């Protein structure tokens, strides 16, 4: 099993290309099930989760081809993938596939809307909270679906004439459930209004693609989304937006180590709140023609308090990385996690590097230290794994991160991108 070896102490200087967003690519790929025409997606990252979803879509009958690879500095990325789901051969998403990735559960929306039925295993994935499917079920029920849970599967059927437009207000903001309900409503009879909808950029990106396919969606990116159902959707060509979580992660890595890095092919407007927190921590951040420039030379890291919130608040997917940064801040900082109840599992691993962190309910208190020392650590989930990399970049000596399959789910060629900017990071195969 692969591990990541880091020898800390080097500043980061250079250019890091930002990949397409995993959190946008996954629902866009699933949207291909809504049409029998070809959906072409550009700027798709090469990640374990993307490859797993390709297998799942293939199980339903999608024909998938990859082209448009372009080489830059020895790295193949920014893939273009064509998805053609002309014939749905199965409306069952089996446990052995869905259990490996929670987002694969989202196929329930397109399958139900297009085929009138779906049998989807209850989801698996990172162990960072319960993330129940109740909101998905309630939302689809509001569109007329009949849903039962039996033997670990969600069995859903639509009325004889198809799903029916309706109104549903989420009791709690859910990005995944917003994706699913919006996709299902595109083919429903009548108008659907989604209240308390997720406002994340990835939701707006999905709506943009669906509209290019012939859907009639307005309000995506706000708390209320309106969808006028249409009889069918066509193919389209769509470019996946930049990964704001990868952008924020590398920005925090530069703030941690010091240096001067251009983050290319990204958009600062996608993560204003996170960038402002990094500025307050002592980094200089400016927009460039191609992305963002991050500089920290001289002054130390300042402590900053944050609270995770749905967009446009501080992203929960950057919480662990920011905690890694705060371990070397010159003072005490506090991080409050409001999205997932079990997302502090990285605390004990950061402590192995010398971090001083205490927990009280949903809040972590971080007392910054002047020195971190390398040690063997273990990734517990996707975002926790990269927080250990950030801490390792500033630790004295060697840090060895195991279970890096978590990293491979969400960060494309992380060690290559960091090494190109002067970090001592390498993948070690046992």
Question: 187: which 2 tokens?
Answer: 């083919």
- Helix or strand (DSSP H, E) at 408: helix 405-410
State residue 128's pLDDT score.
36
Mean pLDDT of the chain: 93
CA–CA dist 269, 85 (Å, integer): 34
State residue 74's pLDDT score.
41
Question: 204: which 2 tokens?
Answer: 């707006």
With a pLDDT cut of 90, the percent of the chain lying above it is 84
CA–CA dist 263, 288 (Å, integer): 9
353 is in an annotated binding site: no
Question: 219: which 2 tokens?
Answer: 């309000």
State residue 130's pLDDT score.
45
With a pLDDT cut of 70, the percent of the chain lying above it is 96
CA–CA dist 412, 195 (Å, integer): 34
146 is in an annotated binding site: no
Q: For the whole model, what pTM was predicted?
A: 0.94
Bridge partners of 157, per DSSP, are: 117, 146
Query: What is the tens place of the pLDDT at every residue in 229-281?
Result: 999 999 999 999 999 999 999 999 999 999 999 999 999 999 999 999 999 99
239 is in an annotated binding site: no
Residues ≥6 apart with Cβ < 8 Å to 362: 336, 337, 338, 341
317 is in an annotated binding site: yes
CA–CA dist 366, 381 (Å, integer): 20
pLDDT band at 340 (very low <50, low <70, confident <90, very high): confident
- If you count them, how many residues does the chain have? 430
Task: Check pLDDT > 80 for residue 163.
Answer: yes
* Ramachandran angles phi, psi of 247, nearest 5°: -55, -50
Query: What is the tens place of the pLDDT at every residue in 149-162?
Result: 998 899 999 999 99
**Which of these is catalytic: 26, 126, 145, 294?**
126
State residue 70's pLDDT score.
44
State residue 343's pLDDT score.
76
Which whole number is the average pLDDT over 20-27? 97
254 is in an annotated binding site: no
State residue 124's pLDDT score.
56
Which of 275, 254, 284 is closest to 422 using CA atoms? 254
- SS3 for 168-189 is EECCCCCHHHHHHHHHHHCCCE
pLDDT band at 127 (very low <50, low <70, confident <90, very high): very low
Question: 34: which 2 tokens?
Answer: 């809504």
Is 126 one of the catalytic residues?
A: yes
- Domains observed in the chain: 2-19+242-429 (3.65.10.10), 22-228 (3.65.10.10)
Bridge partners of 153, per DSSP, are: 121, 150
CA–CA dist 262, 15 (Å, integer): 5
pLDDT band at 99 (very low <50, low <70, confident <90, very high): confident
Q: Give the residue with greater pLDDT, 62 vs 128.
A: 62
339 is in an annotated binding site: yes
* Ramachandran angles phi, psi of 322, nearest 5°: -70, -35
For tokens 């159902």, the residue is 229
For tokens 């273009």, the residue is 80
CA–CA dist 93, 119 (Å, integer): 6
Question: 312: which 2 tokens?
Answer: 């446009």
Which of 390, 415, 397 is closest to 256 using CA atoms? 390
pLDDT band at 381 (very low <50, low <70, confident <90, very high): confident
């Amino acid at each position: 099993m692969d591990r990541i070896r880091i020898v800390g102490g080097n500043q980061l200087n250079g250019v890091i290309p930002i990949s397409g967003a995993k959190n946008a690519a996954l629902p866009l790929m699933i949207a291909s099930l809504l049409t029998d025409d070809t959906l072409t997606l550009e700027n798709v990252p090469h990640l374990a989760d993307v490859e797993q979803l390709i297998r799942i879509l293939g199980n339903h009958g999608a024909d998938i081809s990859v082209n448009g690879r372009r080489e830059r500095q020895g790295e193949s990325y920014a893939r273009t993938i064509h998805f053609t789901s002309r014939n749905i051969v199965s409306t069952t998403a089996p446990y052995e596939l869905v259990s490996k990735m929670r987002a694969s559960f989202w196929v329930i929306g397109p399958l139900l809307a297009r085929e009138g039925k779906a049998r989807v295993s209850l989801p698996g994935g990172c162990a960072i909270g319960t993330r129940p499917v109740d909101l998905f079920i309630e939302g689809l029920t509001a569109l007329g679906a009949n849903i039962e849970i039996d033997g670990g599967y969600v069995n859903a059927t639509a009325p004889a004439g198809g799903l029916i437009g309706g109104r549903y207000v989420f009791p709690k903001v859910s990005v995944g459930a917003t994706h699913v309900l919006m996709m299902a409503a595109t083919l429903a009879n009548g108008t659907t209004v989604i209240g308390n909808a997720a406002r994340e950029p990835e939701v707006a990106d999905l709506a943009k693609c669906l509209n290019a396919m012939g859907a009639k969606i307005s309000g995506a990116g706000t708390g209320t989304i309106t969808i006028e159902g249409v009889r069918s959707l066509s193919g389209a060509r769509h470019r996946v937006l930049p990964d704001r979580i990868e952008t924020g992660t590398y920005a925090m890595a530069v703030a941690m180590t010091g240096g001067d890095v251009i983050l290319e092919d990204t958009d600062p407007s996608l993560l204003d709140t996170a960038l402002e927190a990094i500025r307050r921590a002592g980094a200089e951040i400016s927009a460039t023609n191609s992305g963002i420039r991050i500089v920290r030379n001289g002054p130390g890291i300042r402590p900053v308090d944050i609270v995770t919130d749905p967009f446009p608040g501080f992203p929960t997917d950057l919480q662990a990385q920011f905690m890694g940064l705060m371990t070397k801040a010159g003072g005490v900082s506090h991080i409050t996690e409001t999205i997932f109840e079990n997302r502090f599992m990285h605390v004990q691993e950061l402590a192995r590097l010398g971090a001083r962190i205490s927990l009280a309910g949903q809040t972590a208190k971080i007392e910054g230290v002047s020195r971190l020392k390398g040690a063997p650590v273990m990734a517990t989930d996707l975002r926790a794994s990269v927080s250990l990399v950030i801490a390792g970049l500033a630790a004295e000596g060697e840090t060895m991160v195991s279970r890096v399959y978590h990293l491979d789910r969400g960060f494309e060629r992380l060690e290559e991108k960091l090494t190109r900017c002067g970090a001592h990071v390498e993948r070690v195969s046992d």
